[in-house]
Structure 1
Amino acid sequence: MDTKTWIEGDPEDLKLLATAFATGDAQVREEHGSYYLCSPTLDIFSSADLPTDEAEELLRLMNGIARSHDPFFNPARLSGSTSRRGRTIVFKSVEVKWQVKAHGSKNPPQDAPAHFLLSRENSDVADAVKLMSAPRPNWVDLYKIHEIVRESINPAKISQLGWLTPREESAFTGSANHPLASGADARHARLSGARPKRIISIDEGQSLMARLVISWMDWLLERDGIPE
């Protein structure tokens, strides 16, 4: 793989990406303390046609998968330069800011490459992990993830499969939807009915959706096998 698309972000999270995606069709590697994304799909572009859109797509999937394994993972971003055979080309990057949170030790997910392949083959998975990759997912993002998973397994139910308990799912949907639970951040500005009995924070909602996405991806891999 000749093309190196350089990335930046929290050092611990970059290290996690490099460990989690050390193998596979798309990889993150470390070189002299810096990190880059590489993939055969980036090598097919000419030097005059920078693969920034494809690199952004790959990185969003990786970020989303890492965030699904660790809800407090801070997404990496493109640094603004690409190297190929010793030549570096600088392009304009979009600065993305996120809220940095304290977190414990990072345990790289061993099944990240399989989840990545799944996201490249399954559009539902791709849509869900891209939503997880947002610098700071909101209730709308998180509820869309819930909808994607719910509809993809229909007629089965999330609680029936044991991915969330009925109480957890009710607390999530109530907190996401009702302005009496989440104020101006809720999905609805006005909603009839009483305030939900159990209210969770956006961080708790993100953790629930991360757990849901991992359970769902593992279930799909068990059912269909790892994509070729």
Structure 2
Amino acid sequence: MIRRRAAGWTLLGPERHAGSLARLALADDIAPLCRLVIRDDPRSFVGVLRIAGEDFVAKSPRHKDRRRWIRLTTLFRPGLAFRIASFLEEAWSAGLPVPEPLGALERRRCGGVVESWLFHRYLPGRPCTASDLQPAAAVLRRLHALGWAHGDAHIANFLADGERVWILDAEPRRRIPGGILEAHDLIRLRNSVGGGTGAEAIDILGGRRGLAYRIAGAYDRGVHAARAVKRRLRSR
């Protein structure tokens, strides 16, 4: 992966796409370059742009770039777009079913990331559903074997194209000893299609109920409880 400065942006991407990434950096605003807008709200922008006759997805994590505490963490580590671009390149080079990365751009102010963009190849297909649980779990385990956890392994974050299942929209984390992150990925995936009801017949946990799975399950329940409290407070 190459890293350089251009037109107020910092670029990170594979050498094979360096020219395309540098041309994108000449634009002051990326969004108008997209020929198709999939999402455009305060949380994120997702669009499709055409480069050399091929379609690529452009994503900007607006909400995370604007949150102060997340911005503070980028004082000593790369922003989310750079982390995902590095992950995609490693996974794609290893033959995992992830979209090929074009690269990422980020702008910093006072040392922290204030705007970032991720670009990867557009993939045709449909979002996975409960019927795709087993193949989604299989590619997730391949990801774990490479040393990564997905971070947001909801079934809709996997794409089915014929008989192949692709990994999308990861918030990648390096595996840590103990297997807690991998366990949380699998629990998150199972719960996203019905948890203990719809998923019982296809138990992707394989009967494992060790400490890592208990900790990951408790964490997942805590996250959902906290979100429910936030929603109730906002509705008042």
Give TM-score, length-normalised by structure 1. 0.29
More RCO (CA 8 Å, sep 6+): 1
Q: Which structure has the highest strand share of the two? A: 2
Q: Which structure has the highest helix share of the two? A: 1
